[in-house]
Amino acid sequence: MSRSPTLEVLLICTIVFIIQSLIGVFSAALATGLFALAPPFVVNPWGLITSVYAHSGVGHYTTNMIALVLFGLLVERRTTRARFHVFFLSVGVLAGVSEVFISGVIGGPAGVIGASGAIFGLLGYLLAGNIVSQAVFRSIELSGRAQFGLFVVIALLVTIATGRPGVALIAHFTGLILGLLAGYIGLLDVRQPVSERPIR
């Protein structure tokens, strides 16, 4: 029986959260320095990776892990363990970097932590990478730019609908856009990509 990459990510996040919490008991500053993504990236480059699997509290951890299981178990059925892990980490890093960079430009919070950008990537993959979505895209015959515009609108609406104070909205938006684009082209699919499947 093959191992579930979703459950592996869940385990990694749980271990990181426990270590992070234990370190935080002795030094909140050290826990932040080890696990948060904050500029300049060259000072704490490991934050690019640790920030994707770390969380700011029990509530943050719990909601992200529920969403991970819901979306991850569906995505993993279409791909390999390696592709799943690379996609999850890559989208998480890009979402975090975009959050830090854009927030810094507009004067918002300078650091980010959590798996939600990567999880929104999984959601985006499911939204765009299914047969129904592909049938709709082909039936309305939108240009490439118009489809991308539609993805942006969908990502904005979902991001706003799930947003609340203190949430990394830019990371959510970035993860969702990346997931929508990846799902549309069937990036993770090991079988025939959805975009090439016949519509019945």
Number of domains in the chain: 1
Task: List CB contacts of 190: < 8 A, sequence separation 6 or more.
Answer: 78, 79, 80, 83
Query: Could you list the residue range(s) of the whole structural domain that residue 23 is in?
Result: 5-196
What is residue 197's predicted lDDT score, i.e. its pLDDT?
Answer: 46
- What CATH number is associated with residue 142? 1.20.1540.10
Res 129 pLDDT > 60: yes
- Which range (18-22, 44-48, 115-119, 174-178) has the least confidence? 44-48
Sorting pLDDT into bands at 50, 70 and 90, what band is 1?
very low
